[in-house]
Chains A and B, each alone.
Chain A
């Protein structure tokens, strides 16, 4: 079992709709969770981080964390074509210092 798992996609979403991305992790002691967006040929950009159970909203993005079920999700509201990218879930596993990445979910927002 991979430490951090994501559906590779592509997740096709109509413009204006909500994109819902999921990520599960295996280490129950993990404390820090991140979502990065990576455009093709570019480096990752941090868009959300969440440390506590529940929801965290920032603009059109909402991160949801459920430590009991070991998943973290990202909602993108009012999806725009410019949101088309690969979204990477990353976790700092317990007792670790480095990010462990999922394989990424490719999102395609169609006009």
Chain B
């Protein structure tokens, strides 16, 4: 079984809809991250959390919110989706003792029409 899982893997939605992307991990890591990847733009950090009570904005947090429901779960919400949020979204985790080595989930491909 995968250590970092993301659901759904693919999602098509319409402008203005609320959508939630979920991430779960079995690695026991404290730190979790949400990134988006756009063609030619690499990976950009949306939000990160260093423990259950800690939430931090990344480079591109506008239009997104997150919830760290438990050590193993970190969800990303788009309150009102817009077409330029069409992208590939990745969740990642890392251990505090090995903070720079991040383990990524398989990604969620989101399309906003």
A binds B: no
Interface residues of A (CB under 8 A from B): none
